[in-house]
Structure 1
Amino acid sequence: MASNLHIQGDESVLLRVTHSNIKTFSADIRFSLQTTIEAVKEKLWRKCGTSVDSMRLELYDDIGAKVSDLADSTRLLGFYSPQDGFRLHVIDLDPSSVTSGGWLDDTSLVEKYKISDEAYSKMDGTFRKFKEEMGLQHQKEQVPDNYMENLCANIKVGDRCQVEPGEKRGVVKFVGQGETLRPGFWVGVQYDEPVGKHDGMIKGHRYFSCPPQCGGMVRPDKVKVGDYPERDPFEDEEI
């Protein structure tokens, strides 16, 4: 059961966040215990797209038992006595939400525009035309297929990481080569904040899934893996 928790200083807690509609969504997020539930919802809205007014939060312990409903938006998170490793579950109550119906999980639900090969060949400014016009001009400049493969040895899917430039933090979601990527090895990252360029799909090929504008594909030399917890956007605020 929830209880009054005495909070001192800048104590924080690392929670695993899941979502009722987005089955592939799972993130470890650090929260200040002095943050109100309203502010927690605001932070989660930026992560998963569920509006604050349509969001209900449930807290589960590290063995999966429900601890409490975080129903009072004016309470501090610390009131509910969360601990590192607990799970914060987001329930989207809006039946017309962008997260409903599996749209963000199953791309097969999205109606796709198709163009005939003949019509595509007649279009100007396409990638196919670009390749035809360039021909073999840059053949010698192409990087080898194993470019930066050695730098991927210590980078694994699921690792926390920091990407340069910009010290952008996130989670490794993909390591390898791709048919819609330039030659060599790449690392796909789900950023903690919407500072990316996509949701894990690049040129029609899905390499991983993440919230919109949270995905990035970078070379391994830009990625450092290690203990890079998510930054709390409220930690620098003055009260």
Structure 2
Amino acid sequence: MASRLQLPVDDSVLIHVTHSNLKTFSSEVRFSLESNVEAVKDKLWKKCGTAVTSMCLELYDDTRAKLSDLNDNTRPFGFYSPLDGYRLHIIDLDPTSVTSGGWLEDTSLVEKYKISDEAYDKLDGNYRKFKEKLGPRASPAQASKTDDDYMKDISMNIKVGDRCEVEPGEKRGVVKYVGKAEGLRAGFWVGIQYDEPLGKHDGLVKGTRFFECPPLHGAMVRPDKVKVGDYPKRDPFEDEEI
């Protein structure tokens, strides 16, 4: 009889790690049971910044009971019988450690760079000088969106009854309205009746009836989102697998 297939034994454990100085530090780390304690500390140093020589490790079980101190760097980690879900608590013994003082977690403790108004004014091309050159006027984008004729030129190529496709999503439908829209932002709008219930209303928007369509088939979109052309209704079964 053929021998049974021998499966490899998992010699690692997943351990929850916390830190004495870093209150928000919490990590799940997998350790080999064959690695010695020094190798475990080296792996933790790369994650939290505490030096191996300044690191003391405490092992806790899943009931929060302390099991042991990992004082012997030469012993394999498996000697302490850790299991998945146990916790290693790092104690940083160095008072000058990068983890001390809380500044790694609290950015308000980090000294901010400041520049005096006099020094800032001496800088060439600073934002303050740029803003003064522009003066108290709106940007082109802001001005156009408040213009009553915003997108009028695009809307002139769209007429009621046109089949269309609307972005995003390539939603197909028919044009039901073109023009300005009371209650909406300035400029021109296009009312769409989608072929499917992909809209938000039935043509009634903020108390104004712009067109009629079935519930949840209507939408008001900007003209630049609409492409008119020969866009037939999609076959609802064309994407089904046979």
Q: Which has the higher contact order (CA 8 A, sep 6+)?
A: 1
Structure with max Cα Rg: 2
TM-score, length basis structure 1: 0.48
